[in-house]
Amino acid sequence: MTPEFMKALNDLREGKIVLVFDSDNRERETDMVVASEKVTPEIVRTMRKEAGGLICVTVHDDIRERIGTPYLADIFSSVSSSYPVLSKLTPNDIPYDAKSAFSITINHRRTFTGITDNDRALTISEFANLARTSLGLDNGWAKDEFGRQFRAPGHVYLLNARRDLLMSRIGHTELTTALMVMAGMTPTATICEMMGDDGNSLPKEEARAYAVRNGLSYLEGSDVVRAWRSGEWSR
């Protein structure tokens, strides 16, 4: 791994934001990324004001299996006989993806509205705590505890990462979850797309300049894939 990549992993361990651009051939977006276990109200505020996209939390497949977070598209499909409009909304025409990573939305039960910086930080950090604990316990406990601690719908969007990280899908969900694994952290990342003032995604050149101005690490998706597939991080 390059010194720049190793610095990005260390930044994540220290709770700092890292910028990740996916690909010129995919969404062409740069996301602010932080380890979910390190999220604070200040991080949420920075993402809300400096990035401006949707604040989401990724879910590694090992966590998904234990907690049981479904794909939202699968929920819509399973209840379409009762709600026919949902069958008409099938996301089968996404130009850069075969299946959306979106799962359910949640709030922690100790939140009020769930949307404030404090509330979202609480939901995210408590989800990370549950995710970490669930990896060492049986599935039944994790599902019950998930329901005990959280309610849905809410204001934190969960994204399910594919089981074969960075093989069949190379989206921000997989890229950033893989970063958490390589950094040796709970495998859930909190991410937010960076928006421009022209109504579009922030061009990667401007995102890179933002990283330089603010002393942040900047990675291309190809950097993450290369490091992941090399296996150097696991040695």
The residues annotated with a catalytic role in the active site are: 31, 56, 96, 107, 155, 193
End-to-end CA distance of the chain: 11
Instruction: Give residue 139's pLDDT.
Output: 63
Summarised one tens digit per residue, pLDDT across range 159-173 is 999 999 888 899 999
Model confidence, pTM: 0.94
Give the closest residue to 149 by CA, choosing from 115, 119, 186, 111.
Answer: 111
3-state secondary structure of 13: helix
Q: Minimum mean pLDDT among 134-138, 145-149, 154-158, 207-211: which range?
A: 134-138
Q: Is 185 left (phi over 0), alpha (psi -120 to 50) or beta?
A: beta
Give the Cβ contact number of residue 161 at 10 Å: 29
Summarised one tens digit per residue, pLDDT across range 25-67 is 888 999 999 999 999 999 999 999 999 999 999 999 999 999 9
- Kindly list the distances between the CA atom of residue 179 and the CA atoms of 35, 77, 172, in Å, as whole numbers in the listed order: 9, 31, 10
The domains located in the chain, with CATH, are 3-234 (3.90.870.10)
